[in-house]
Amino acid sequence: MIRTLDFLFSLLGLVFGSPVLLVLCVIGLFDTGSPVFRQERVGRYKKPFTLVKFRTMSVDTASVASHLASSSSITKFGHFLRRTKLDELPQLWNVLKGEMSLVGPRPCLFNQEELIQQREQRGVLGARPGVTGLAQVNDIDMSTPELLATTDAKMLVNLTVSAYFKYIFMTVSGKGSGDRIPGRE
């Protein structure tokens, strides 16, 4: 049922949101010269996939988790995108393709070994990564791997269709701060 909802909502989001996506892409082009950010992430069953987002940091920023990035690397437009969570919109493509779900554990980088280990121990990597979830709406980020993995596991055990809609609504209405950049939140 959730995969069907993911497919329908991501398709509708991409079709009806395309004017917004286009405008953000053009503004991002002027901001960084490269508005779309692609990065290999850990997917379901540890299978790699390429996550797509709007770029919020300068092009030369090191490929590290957000909580390890320098606050000076985030652009002014990038700060706006993160605050409004609009940087996540291109991930609808990942959801449409079945690499992600709208609700699930946030996909981490392969170099976040402690988080991967914690998630493996709790069976979290058997789920599709998500755009949002329980950890995100409660301001739990990847800087606390054990807490994040425990929260992800709790969410997955209790994930119902109503919880799915609850996390989406909470995210859209502004709950949670998204991925933190030290010194910027």
- What pLDDT digit, counting tens, does each position of 32-72 carry? 888 999 999 999 999 999 999 999 887 776 565 555 555 66
What 3-state DSSP class applies to 74?
strand
Contacts (Cβ under 8 Å, ≥6 apart) of 142: 65, 66, 67, 106, 108, 112, 115, 148, 179
Whether 129 has a pLDDT exceeding 90, the answer reads yes
CA-based nearest residue to 46, from 100, 94, 116: 116
Report, as an integer, the average pLDDT of 100-104: 97
pTM (two decimals)? 0.86
The answer as to whether 111 is a domain residue is yes
Q: Is residue 184 part of a domain?
A: no
Residue 68 lies in a domain: yes
User: Hey, which residues does 57 pair with through a beta bridge?
Assistant: 74
Determine, yes or no, domain membership for 66: yes
Domain membership flag for residue 178: no
Q: Which domain holds residue 67?
A: 2-172
- Looking at the structure of the chain, the number of domains it has is 1
Percentage, residues of the chain above pLDDT 90? 72
What is the model's pLDDT at position 30? 92
Distances (CA, A) of 125 to 115, 121, 179: 10, 9, 20
